[in-house]
Amino acid sequence: MAKRKNSLRYVIQSASSRRDSVENEDHQRIVAMRPASMKRAPEETPVWQKLKHLPEAPGVYQFRNASGDLLYIGKAKVLRNRIRSYFQKSTAHNLRIQIMVSLVADVTWILTDTEAEALLLEEQLIKLHKPRYNVALKDDKSYPYLKLSVQEHYPRLNLVRERHERKAEYFGPYPSAQDARHMMRVALRYFPLRTSKMELDGNKVFRPCLNFQLKRCLAPCRGNVAFDEYGKLVRQVRLFLKGRDQELLQDLERRMQIASETLEFEQAAQLRDQIQSL
């Protein structure tokens, strides 16, 4: 029995060694193919010069090769930390990342006000440019989406991994479930749509859930919000998730002005706070 275990261990170690050898050869071949201008000492390359001046702010970064082709697009809460992590000597990076980094000849970035805004911009840029190393995000159908069930009387926002319902609206895909949940939390913080699975038609009244008590939902299940008002909230969520911030702010400002003119000061104050938060 011990001999069989030792034999098995030898086979596994041999296979692992062969795989490591092949990966190292692949990596060396990629590096050897790089232009001479990219084989200088790291600190002399334009990329490393840029690493010294990275901002400590949220945003989207782009990696390009020596020909100017877009390799990868990513987002970061702190650009300085995220971009530098690619160029640190570490065994944590898999071969795919190592090869990509070896091809990087230029780094650019776009600053955003928040991490949520960076996530939206990243999604839009990936769809537009389809970078080579973002292919997993582009093709893998298991990546998460946010679903807005506009076919329902009172639409709700949920995280899903498949797009089955044609009449629903989907936003994404997001790089991870964590990113999708973060975006959903931010959206619901400003625009408290329901997330419950109850079928609401505006006629039957239900007991509100905990989200209403926590002020995370307007409780359409109890008839607390008019159908038209809820519809405005849905429109605002749609603008927010599409990254159309200016259009969203203009809509909120217009509603605040109307509320003020009709002496609905409490609603005007709520809209003002919402605008300031955004």
- Give the residue from 92, 111, 110, 114 showing the smallest Cα distance to 101: 92
CA terminus-to-terminus distance, the chain: 66
Residue 265, H or E segment: helix 265-277
- How confident is the model over 230-264, as pLDDT tens digits? 888 898 888 888 877 666 677 777 767 776 766 76
Q: Which pair of tokens denotes residue 194?
A: 């329901």
DSSP string, 223-244: T-S-HHHHHHHHHHHHHHHTT-
- Indicate the pLDDT class of residue 140, thresholds 50, 70 and 90: very low
pLDDT digits (tens, 9 = 90+) for 185-241: 888 888 888 888 777 766 677 777 777 767 778 788 877 788 888 888 898 888 888
Q: CA-to-CA distance for 278 and 273, rounded, in angstroms?
A: 9
Please give the domain boundaries of the chain with CATH numbers for all domains. Answer: 19-139 (3.40.1440.10), 145-243 (no CATH)
pLDDT tens digits, one per residue of 92-129: 677 778 888 889 999 999 999 888 889 889 988 988 89
In the chain, the percentage of residues whose pLDDT exceeds 70 is: 69
Question: Residue 100 corresponds to which tokens in the numbers above?
Answer: 């990509």
Residue showing tokens 């989406």: 145
The closest alpha carbon to 174, from 131, 96, 116, belongs to 116
Looking at the whole model, is its pTM more than 0.85?
Answer: no
Is the bond into 173 cis (omega within 30 degrees of 0)? yes
Q: What is the pLDDT of residue 276?
A: 59
